[in-house]
Each structure stands twice: as structure tokens, then as C-alpha cells.
Amino acid sequence: MVLRRRRPPQVGRLHVDGRDVAPVELARSNAERRRGLLGRDGLEGGLWLEPCRQVHTLRMRFAIDVAHVDRRGVVRGVRTMPPGRFGPLGLRTRAVLEAEAGSFAAWGLSVGSHVQVVLAANGQPTHSGRS
């Protein structure tokens, strides 16, 4: 049996309408996206799932804010989901941002906001959204 070591998540900074608001973990591989927030009691900052069009909160321990983001980085939909729910399918969604419930209000994130994930290492955007 071959045991694979779980690599630490890639971490960047979340920018909302040009403001640096929080740390964000990137979930890009199938395994990282499947794991998501399962088994956690909370989250500091956000979790960026790309590519992703739909999420659920089955077996989760806390409510989350969910934002559907298009390929330009524009937020197309926002909702708060309690544990045990399936979210809607975002037809024009390229990525989904998850955070603890109430985070989006604190960050000023709403429908129409522009979001960007910037890698901490080089300051470059990590997704296709443009400023």
C-alpha cells in the first residue's frame, strides 16, 4: 500500500473590490475540492474552489456563506447555507468562494463585487478574474 502525504493547501489573499480582506485557501485538485470544509469546526478566511459550479453542506459542522464567481471574477450569487443542504448550480460559475457565515457582510462582498485571489508568494492573481 502506498501512502500519499497530504500536501499543505496553497494559501493566498482574497481581494474584494480591490481591498485585501482575508486569507484564502485554494482547492484546485479533485481531492482538495471533495474534501472542502469537511471535518473542520471553522475556517479563518475563505476557501476558493476552482473549477466549481455547485457546493453542498452535507456532514458540515457550521453554516457557510457561498459566493458563485464567474470567469471575470464578478460575484453572480451569494447565499448563506446551513449544514445539510445542497446549493444551486451556477450555470455561469467558474469558482465558488466559501467562508464562515457572516464573513461576506464583514468583507463587504455582495452580488456584483469583483473578487481576486492573489498568491502570497508572488503577488500575482491566481484566477482568470481581471481588475
Write out the three cell numbers for 9: 493547501
Q: What pLDDT does 28 receive?
A: 75
Q: Which CATH number applies to 10-119?
A: 2.60.120.1140
Q: What angle do CA 129, 105, 84 make, to 5 degrees?
A: 90
CA separation for the pair 101, 130 (Å, rounded):
26
pLDDT in tens, 60-92: 888 999 999 999 999 999 999 999 998 998 889
Q: What pLDDT does 39 receive?
A: 65
1-17 b/e with 16+ CB inside 10 Å = b? eeeeeeeeebebbbbbb
Q: What pLDDT does 33 receive?
A: 60
* Distant-in-sequence, close-in-space partners of 25: CB < 8 Å, separation ≥ 6: 9, 10, 11, 45, 46, 47, 48
CA separation for the pair 56, 88 (Å, rounded):
9
Q: What is the value of pTM for the model shown? A: 0.82
Which residues of the chain are under the pLDDT cut of 50? 128-131
Q: What pLDDT does 70 receive?
A: 97
Q: What pLDDT does 74 receive?
A: 98
